[in-house]
Amino acid sequence: MSTRFRIAFPIVSSFVLCALTIGAADRIVKPVDENRVVVLKGHIHPNAQRQSDAGPVDPENGISAPLYYVSPGQIDLQVPCETGAGTAVLAINNNGQIATFSFPVAATAPGLFRSAVDNSMGQVVSSAQPGQVLLLFLTGEGDVTPTLATGATPAVNFDPTKYPQPRLPVSVTVGGVPAQVLFSGIPSGLVAETQIDFIVPSNALLGPQQVIVSVGNVSSPPIALEILAATP
């Protein structure tokens, strides 16, 4: 399991513990899972320093979580791959003052970045035409194969055909219409995030639609995409 705490994704709703809040903008209640990205926000002592470990996600088992960012108001960390499904306990040690929080860990709990990316231009888009290839970025896809160590990304010279992929099947719908998935995996440079390449269906309905990714039988919260008429 590999859940990186970050702000851009739908996550568990807000909880307050020892002046530390776990939350997100959309307040969607979801269990956290491997490759799930969330954020820790709250009042953090200004002398808090970035270290290699944030302290155990599960103090009983002593599994430490790597830190990616620490500021007076935010901590970004990754839930270690060794964290098992069930209930985990996150412990933050701030100069000897420890705050803990229990949260559920599921087999999969997919969440998407807010926008799709055009494959040809590499730009974030809010609209697309049928037949267009778009990229999505996902967290919470669960176990991947081959496995990656906590905090790791595939090497630059790694064979792209062998990038880590979710063990469970990945599907995409646009307005309820199934889309063809060209690729789903973790390319070099990404940590705890999966890239999905898909084709906007030729029979997708025009107008505002919802894009949803499912991993196994669990669906992500939707993101919005305007479907435009194809250019002659």
* Same domain (yes/no): 176, 75: no
* Same domain (yes/no): 32, 94: yes
* Same domain (yes/no): 192, 131: yes
* Same domain (yes/no): 20, 124: no
Domains identified in the chain, total number:
2
Token readout for 79 is 């839930």
* Same domain (yes/no): 131, 212: yes
Q: Is residue 223 part of a domain?
A: yes
The pLDDT of residue 99 is above 50: yes
Using the 3D structure, point to which of 49, 82, 106 is the last residue of a domain.
106
* Same domain (yes/no): 163, 56: no
- Is the pTM for the entire model greater than 0.85? no
Using the 3D structure, point to which of 80, 106, 132 is the last residue of a domain.
106
* Same domain (yes/no): 25, 129: no
Burial class of residue 4, CB neighbours in 10 A (0-12, 13-18, 19+): buried
* Same domain (yes/no): 75, 179: no
> Using 50, 70 and 90 to split pLDDT, how confident is the model at 124?
very high
Q: Is residue 232 part of a domain?
A: no
Q: Which residues contact 52 (CB under 8 A, 6 or more apart)?
A: 64, 66, 67
Q: Is residue 80 part of a domain?
A: yes
Token readout for 97 is 């003052």
Dihedral sign from CA coordinates of 116, 122, 124, 129: negative
Strand, coil or helix: 33: strand
51-88 pLDDT per residue, tens: 334 444 444 456 777 777 777 777 777 777 777 777 87
154-183 pLDDT per residue, tens: 888 888 889 999 999 999 999 999 999 999
The CATH number of the domain holding residue 115 is: 2.60.40
Q: What share of the chain is helix, strand, coil (3-state, %, to 5)?
A: 0, 45, 55
* Same domain (yes/no): 50, 79: yes
- Residue 172 lies in domain: 111-227
d(CA 112, CA 221): 7
Using the 3D structure, point to which of 106, 136, 152 is the last residue of a domain.
106
* Same domain (yes/no): 126, 102: no
